[in-house]
Amino acid sequence: MRQFLEGSRAVAEIVKLCKPGVISAYPITPQTHIVEELAQMVANGELNAQFVNVESEHSAASVVLGAVATGARAFTATSSQGLLYMAEVLFNISGLRLPLVLTCANRAISAPINIWNDLQDSISLRDSGWIQFYAENIQEVADLHLLAYRLGEDKSIMLPVMVCMDGYTLTHGMETVDIPTQEEIDKFLPSYKPLYKLDPAEPLTMGLLANPDYYLETRFAIQETFKDVLKMIPKISEEFKNRFARDYKDGLVEEYCTKDAEKVIVAMGSVCGTIKEVVDALRQKGKKVGLLKVISYRPFPYAKVDAALKDIPQVAVLDKAVSLGAYAPLAVEIKATFFGKRKSPKIISSFVAGLGGRDITFESVKEIFTKLNRKEVNLEFIDLKPELLKEEYGE
Amino acid sequence: MENNSLFKPGHTACAGCGQAIAARLVIDAAGSNTIVVNNTGCLEVFSSQYPESAWNVPWIHSLFENAAAVASGVEAALVYLGKKETTNVIAQAGDGGTADIGLQALSGMWERGADILSICYDNEAYENTGIQRSGLTPYGTNTTTTPPGTKSIGNPRPKKPMPEIANAHGIPYVATASVGFPQDLQRKVKKAISIKGPKYIQIHVPCPLGWRHETELTYQIARLAVETGLYPLIEYENGKLVAVRKIAQPKPVEEYLRPQGRFKHLLNNPEELKQIQEIAENNIQKYNLKTEVTNEKSQTQILPNPK
Ligand SMILES: Cc1ncc(C[n+]2csc(CCOP(=O)(O)OP(=O)(O)O)c2C)c(N)n1
Ligand SMILES: [Mg+2]
């Protein structure tokens, strides 16, 4: 059904339809609306779930860990400091091979404390063994949650999924979205049947100590599973298209005007909407520009990115996060895609923008296209204010 | 009797490990319809080394500080799945995992009123990482992070009053127990699981390696801690003291301290011995532990239940 909804509400609606048995969360802006909505649904009896209020994000993550281990579908959501506070538990959840869906309402990391949007929180958890999706708009956020449960719970996968949505832009923005009916969802997402669970009828030990004779293989196994995830996402995306008539193609990346393009920006999240507008405007002026939107950042779809960009002469990577002291996180992956390849873009320039909620405007994106030329740049910060830097260094 | 225990032999605990004995007593008292969530620590390490496990009940270890929260998730899932009425949930940890790093999660769980039994195996230090001080390390103890020296007599602080902290949460059942009194321990576990809501039992468990006593003395040392008044066995229901283990003739604390290397530096220090004797005296007074009765059977005295 098509409804005009706030992004957080849309997430709550779709999560409700996925029927989690246990929800646990802790307040943090801009995630909070999602779980407030869910709490109300539980209070109203619209959703039959245990809503566990906890004293911290560490415990929120631990509660859903315990719930999935016991055989219930579960959900949590967080942002920024909350996600970092969960970090220890998040690695644990993937190591235990527990499928779970977490919404990350992306927000900058302190210090300085800043409640506005960038992708530093979830990017910092990229090595945690979680599948990571980044959404462009509210419809996509809703759909990705449904895909996420279906994917993570697949018996051949059994991994947790983080659905990342830009704080405010998507959590607090309003959009007309199509939320499927319960019946449609039930056909797509069967009830959760765990491979293993804590059950006195069949006592199992979970979370064992693995010494050097065994640990390495547990990591290898997850690495291998991520290869299967890359194959599984397109399959589920295809089934999704057939059922819900929305086409995410392979579900890994979206190519926008890339076929004949000479310059392409690679980006993730809601900024892709702005980039598409710029692409449209520049195309009208006859400029051959395009966008490659990365939806699945973990696993990273190297082969898809290679196929999409290998014939593009100039590529700009737009990062909304940094890896301080090293190349930017998305740029690293794009450069790695083409290292040692015969066919590859001549130029892969890397730009950083939008940290701490600095607006990435139409003009910012145009500037990136302008700066994307024959001279490769690395870690070029867009929209810096030189006057502030002077103050900082006391010049 | 051990053959059908839910905690199997063959684990890798040290000889004389009090925690291993207590863990078996606890799970056997709780029974097979129990899910155990275990914090990181000695017990977890020696009982669950892949590809082996000592546990014959569903058991999960996640992290050092989150057993109470994981157990809450287990409980919530059991409620959702309609299986809570038939399943007990135990969250267990060492003293460090309980009183220090895990206290926040534990407090949250108590405050939520979760139907979970928390067990603290109190060996009075972070034993698993090499005998560092915890919030439950007693006054004067030599640990690797509170070594005595010219400027220090060892651990400068008394034990954190965990039973009182538990009681302050208004939970229905709080008790201390000792591996030196196994029947009393098992009675308390059974009683705890018969009560709905959060329960806390703190069990004194000697650690021969960390306390530096002979491995065959575990039982005696545990009993001496109680018999000197240093580890009072107390039981609260709804915040009211309902029972204490009486001591006929309190023994001097020196009898408890002498066999343990961790207190050796105090033995020639009358000032410090006096201080520790005072801790015992205070306990004896506070909980009214002294009795003239000498018959061992009648030593757990049920106090009249104050209205
Ligand atoms: C977050 C975190 N900090 C520190 C550790 C290291 N660590 C593992 S077990 C342990 C000590 C456990 O002490 P206690 O809870 O008293 O249990 P014991 O081993 O004494 O039975 C420590 C410090 C850890 N695993 N995780
Ligand atoms: Mg300890």
Q: Give the tens place of pLDDT for each residue, A139-158.
A: 999 999 999 999 999 999 99
Tell me phi and psi for residue A83, to 5 degrees: -65, -45
Domain shared by A321 and A341, yes or no: yes
Q: Mutation test of the interface with chain B: which of A70, A92, A215, A216, choosing the one with the most B Cβ atoms within 10 A? A: A70
Residue B111 included in any domain: yes
Q: In sequence order, which residues have a C-beta less than 8 Å from that of residue B181 and are 6 or more positions away?
A: B222, B223, B226, B233, B245
User: From the candidates B81, B110, B116, which should be mutated to test the interface with A, based on the most A CB atoms within 10 A?
Assistant: B81
Task: Give just the sign of the alpha carbon dihedral B233, B236, B241, B243.
Answer: negative
In a domain, residue B208? The reply is yes
Q: Provide the residue range defining the domain that includes B290.
A: 18-302
CATH number at residue A286: 3.40.50.920
**Structure confidence by residue, pLDDT tens digits, B101-126:** 999 999 999 999 999 999 999 999 99
List, for residues B257-283, the tens digit of each pLDDT value.
Answer: 999 999 999 999 999 999 999 999 999
**Please, how many CA atoms are within 13 Å of residue B275, restricted to the half-sphere of its CB?**
14
Residue B5 lies in a domain: no
The angle, 0 to 180 degrees and rounded to 10, between the axes of the packed helices B103-112 and A57-70 is 70
Q: Residue B301 has what pLDDT?
A: 56
B57, B77, B105 ranked by CB distance to A71: nearest: B77
Domain that holds residue A323: 253-388
Residue nearest to atom 24 of ligand 1 (CA): B64
- Please report whether residue A262 resides in a domain: yes
B54 CA: distance to closest CA in chain A (Å): 9
Of the three residues A244, A277, A296, the one that is the final residue of a domain is A244
Residue A393 included in any domain: no
Report the CATH number at residue A59: 3.40.50.970
Nearest to B212 by CA among B262, B255, B142, B257: B262
Contact B20, B44 (CB under 8 A): no
DSSP state for residue A289 in the 8-state scheme: E
For A182-225, the pLDDT digits (tens) are 999 999 999 999 999 999 999 999 999 999 999 999 999 999 99
Measured between CB atoms, which of B32, B49, B74 is closest to A66?
B74
Peptide bond into A194 cis (omega under 30): no
Q: Is A318 helix (H, G, I), strand (E, B) or coil?
A: strand
Whether residue A155 sits in one domain with residue A257:
no
In this structure, the answer to whether residues A13 and A63 fall within a common structural domain is: yes
CB count in 10 Å sphere of residue B1: 5
Q: How confident is the model at residue B169 (pLDDT cuts 50, 70, 90)?
A: very high
Cα B190 to ligand 1 centroid, rounded to whole Å: 28
- Shared domain check, A208 and A73: yes
- Phi then psi dihedrals of residue A319, to 5 deg: -105, 135
CATH code of the domain containing B62: 3.40.50.970
The count of domains in chain A is 2
pTM above 0.80, yes or no: yes
pLDDT at B3: 64
Enumerate the residues of chain A whose CB falls inside 8 A of the CB of residue B39.
Answer: none
> What mean pLDDT do residues A313-324 have?
98
Confirm or reject contact between A44 and chain B (CB < 8 A). Answer: no
Do A342 and A382 belong to one domain? yes
Query: Which ligand lies nearest the alpha carbon of B141?
Result: 2
Please identify which residue in the block is written with the tokens 């002077």: A390
Q: Is residue B63 part of a domain?
A: yes
pLDDT at B294: 47
| Residue B11 included in any domain | no
Which residues of chain A have a CB within 8 Å of the CB of B81? 21, 70-72
Q: Is the residue at A90 inside a domain?
A: yes
B86 lies in a domain?
yes
- Residue A116 belongs to a domain: yes
Q: What is the mean pLDDT of residues B49-61?
A: 98
- In-domain check, residue A64: yes
Q: Does A212 share its domain with A299?
A: no
* pLDDT at B305 > cutoff 70: no
Q: Which residues contact A191 (CB under 8 A, 6 or more apart)?
A: A19, A73
Is some CB atom of chain B closer than 8 A to the CB atom of A208? yes
Q: Total structural domains in chain B? A: 1
pLDDT at B307 over 50: no
User: Based on the domain organization, do A106 and A232 belong to the same domain?
Assistant: yes
* Minimum Cα–Cα distance from A60: chain B residue: B69
Calpha distance B121→B68 (Å, rounded): 14
Whether A200 and chain B come into contact, CB under 8 Å, resolves to yes
DSSP-derived 3-state class of residue B88: strand
> Within a domain: residue B113?
yes
Q: Which of B210, B195, B295 is nearest to B247 (CA)?
A: B295
Do A239 and A257 belong to one domain?
no
User: Do both A232 and A287 map to the same domain?
Assistant: no
Q: What is the ipTM of this complex?
A: 0.96
